């Protein structure tokens, strides 16, 4: 290595000297390697810039998001912009007599092939216990699986290395959807709000505001009563209830 503030890496089979202290993405851009595919949000949530890397002379290799991972000396990097993972097109309907758990396992029977090697959890660049949620789905703990997989960025690293060829991220998506649709109770206060909105003429009340002079509506705005931070849900009501259509 020639320059102290640079490190040597191997990206997609080519050797490069890149500035240190940067993410892999910005270090590569700095020396002129541009991206069309394989880069997305640049904020660590879209999973487009997944790479596998290994430090020369080490055995273990890792998965990372290029927009998040600092560049290190002697990284050998394989970009992984796409992985052909199984995805089932399905509705959220639940036929009579079936459980959400049954539906999910039916769409993704591969989850029964988990041999608990733990490679998926080890690789996950956003720290999800992938093997953990696969087990949860298997056991019918859809709620637990939904929240364990909640921050998944669909980078596909887990699926790539799975010896059971389980499409974990897509199975987790289906688990979350069935859990959300069928196991989480609907919000009753929302149902009541929808009913109230159907009964009341909201447009007439808004129309009254719209006909106000600027000074009047500004005064109304400044007089707004602010719901206290610590008010328990659904308990507090303002003194003036005309705008919420309660008399």
Partner 1 sequence: MAVNQSHTLPESLRESARLVEKTREERLARLLRGETFPLLSLSDRRAWLEEYHPDYQLEGRRTLGVGPSKGMETPVELADLLEAWPRANVLSLYEDSDKRLAQEPDHVTDVLIIGGGGAGMAAAITAAEAGAKVTIATKLRPGDSNTIMAEGGIQAADQECDSPVQHFLDVLGGGHFTNDPDMVEALVTDGPETLRWLEELGLLFDKYATGRMKTRHGGGTSRKRLHSCGDVTGLEIMRVLQDRAEYLGVETIQFHPAVELLTDENGRAVGVVLERIPQGETLVVRAKAVILATGGFGRLHFRDFPTSNHYGATADGLAIAYRAGLPLRDIQSCQYHPTGVAYPEQKLGLLLTEKFRGLGAQILNRHGDEFVHNLEPRDVTTATIIRECSEYDNGVETPGGVNGVWLDIPLIELLHGRGTIEREFPGRFKEFIGKGFDIRKWPVLAYPTLHYQNGGVVTGTDAATDMPGLFAAGEVTGGVHGKNRLMGNALLEILVFGRRAGEGAARFAAEFGAGGKPGLSHLDAFLEELTVAKIDRQRTAPRLLPVYGKVRPV
Q: What is the smallest separation between the CB atom of 99 and partner 1, expressed in angstroms?
A: 15
Q: What is the smallest separation between the CB atom of 113 and partner 1, expressed in angstroms?
A: 23
As beta bridge partners, residue 79 has 51
- Which CB, 106 or 147, lies closer to partner 1? 147
Q: What is the smallest separation between the CB atom of 217 and partner 1, expressed in angstroms?
A: 7
d(CA 113, CA 109): 8
Closest-CA residue to 81 (of 92, 96, 67): 67
- Exposure string of 31-60, with b = 16+ CB inside 10 Å and e = fewer, is eeeebeebbbebebbbbbbbbbbbeeeeee
Q: What is the smallest separation between the CB atom of 126 and partner 1, expressed in angstroms?
A: 6
- Which CB, 116 or 212, lies closer to partner 1? 212
- Which CB, 97 or 234, lies closer to partner 1? 234
Q: What is the smallest separation between the CB atom of 77 and partner 1, expressed in angstroms?
A: 15
Q: What is the smallest separation between the CB atom of 176 and partner 1, expressed in angstroms?
A: 6
- Which CB, 113 or 167, lies closer to partner 1? 167
Q: What is the smallest separation between the CB atom of 221 and partner 1, expressed in angstroms?
A: 4
- Which CB, 1 or 231, lies closer to partner 1? 231
Rounded to 10 deg, the angle between the 130-139 and 100-107 helix axes is 120
For the chain, the residue count is: 247
- Which CB, 8 or 154, lies closer to partner 1? 154
Q: Taking the CA atoms of 45, 115, 172 and 88 in sequence, report the sign of the dihedral they define.
A: positive
Which tokens is 94 given? 């639940």
- Which CB, 33 or 164, lies closer to partner 1? 33
d(CA 197, CA 27): 54
């Amino acid at each position: 290595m020639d320059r102290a503030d640079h490190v040597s890496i191997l990206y997609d089979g080519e050797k490069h000297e890149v500035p240190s202290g940067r993410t892999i993405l910005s270090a590569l851009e700095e020396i002129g390697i541009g991206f069309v595919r394989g880069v997305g949000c640049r904020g660590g949530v879209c999973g487009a810039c997944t790479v596998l890397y290994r430090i020369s002379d080490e055995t273990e290799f890792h998965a990372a998001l290029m927009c998040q991972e600092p560049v290190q000396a002697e990284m050998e990097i394989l970009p992984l912009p796409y992985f052909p993972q199984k995805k089932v097109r399905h509705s959220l309907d639940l036929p009579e007599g079936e459980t959400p758990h049954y539906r999910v396992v039916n769409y993704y029977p591969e989850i029964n092939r988990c041999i608990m090697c733990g490679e998926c959890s080890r690789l996950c660049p956003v720290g999800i216990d992938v093997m953990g949620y696969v087990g949860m789905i298997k056991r019918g703990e859809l709620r637990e699986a939904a929240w364990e997989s909640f921050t998944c960025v669909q980078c596909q690293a887990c699926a790539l290395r799975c010896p059971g060829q389980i499409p974990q991220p897509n199975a987790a998506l289906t688990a979350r959807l069935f859990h959300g649709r069928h196991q989480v109770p609907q919000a009753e206060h929302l149902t009541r709000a929808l009913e109230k909105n159907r009964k009341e003429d909201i447009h007439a009340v808004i129309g009254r505001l719209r006909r106000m002079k600027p000074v009047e509506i500004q005064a109304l705005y400044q007089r707004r009563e602010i719901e206290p931070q610590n008010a328990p849900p659904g308990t507090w009501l303002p003194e003036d209830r005309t705008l919420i259509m309660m008399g």
